[in-house]
Amino acid sequence: MISTKRPALTTLGEEEAAFKQAVREFAEKDIKPHVHAMDKNAQIDKDILKKLFEMGLMGIETPEKWGGAGSSFTMACLAVEELGRIDGSISVLVDVQNTLVTNALLKWATEDQKSNYLPKLASSWVGAYALSESSSGSDAFALKLLAQPKGNSYILQGHKLWITNGGEANLFIVFANVDPAKGYKGITAFLVERDTPGFKIGKKEDKLGIRASSTCELVFEGCEIPKENILGEVGKGYKIAIETLNEGRIGIGAQMVGIGQGAYEAALKYVKTRDQFGKSISQFQGVQFQLAEMRTQLEASRLLVYNAARLKDEGSDFIEAAAIAKLFSSKAAEKITSMAIDLYGGNGFTKEYPVEKFWRDAKIGQIYEGTSNMQLQTIAKMELEL
């Protein structure tokens, strides 16, 4: 008998498809019932955080010898996508943990640092990536956080802003300048634990979207960090930041695909049940065309993200692919979620229905981990070989 089920436009291997389905079922069962409350309270449910570790979603690429799943970057992106389909806040928490923090440690940490921190990050510790400051957004290396040498330590003095996972994190990768006279060549990455004297979590931002995800100020007042907590080498922090963010952009692309998918599915379901002029609005050609446009944008985004992740996994040059994937998927997510509100009509503008949250969550995709303009600049430079 010939199957009448529509084939998936984006194909995955059996292991990838099974993993993706497992994450989807987990998100539907354990996260979805709490999404509205987390958004309203601007707080991640602690039980969900615990379950993320139990599911192995906080150390997807971490080798098994350090308690992780020993899987691929693509698998991490699939998890971020499926979580984003239900909640953008949980999605970005898992994204930062895997594509930024864990990835940086796997590539740059010493064996002692890996043995110390990777098992904790895979089992119970949340990680955060602290690069941004009030004066350094797109100009990421205009850092003012200073790291002054003192014997076998460095003294960190200054602030960080807009740090994702700041409220929950136990370990922070902090970028500071050990020699401002050298400019970006003085930037160095430090591993800072939450309970380090002289370090505290400051203001938590009250955001438009991804509200349950904590975005915090970090305050360093004479915070002493031993030299053995330097990640990589002194003065190589800029290289760590650039390379890690290139990878992280693929993760944000995956998050945007998930958010777009969630909004699209909600709209598709709604138009089949909403009657106007004596019939379902799904029967009107204008609505059908909107759905077709949403579906096309969504699938194009997914293909771009999967391709960038594949290139990263196979060791190929993926920088331009990552920029394209993030640029396109973040714009597509904003468009898809906005169209979903349109299809819901007045209901879409209320918090009783899910699509207004998808729209709020989608907006950040064009801002963090490199704005859309910065992605355009990256793509243009690589095309022109500047």
Token pair for residue 220?
A: 């360093």
The three-state secondary structure class of 53 is helix
Which one of 25, 369, 383, 385 is the catalytic residue?
Answer: 369
Q: CB under 8 Å to 196, separation ≥6 — which residues? A: 223, 224, 225
Task: Strands of the chain (E only): list them.
Answer: 127-130, 146-150, 153-164, 171-177, 187-193, 199-204, 215-226, 230-231, 275-276, 279-280
14: exposed, middle or buried (Cβ count in 10 Å: 0-12, 13-18, 19+): exposed
Query: 56 near 49, Cβ under 8 Å?
Result: no
Q: What torsion, rounded to 10 degrees, do the Cα atoms 288, 326, 137, 245 define?
A: 150
**Residue 156, CA distances (Å) to 98, 146, 183 in order:** 26, 6, 17
Amino acid at 339: M
Active site annotation includes 369: yes
Q: CB under 8 Å to 345, separation ≥6 — which residues? A: 274
* Sole residue written with tokens 């436009």: 9
Q: CB under 8 Å to 14, separation ≥6 — which residues? A: none
Q: Measured between alpha carbons, how far is 9 from 12 in angstroms, rounded to an integer?
A: 10
What are the two backbone dihedrals, phi and then psi, of residue 354, each rounded to the nearest 5 degrees?
-80, -15
Residues belonging to the active site: 369
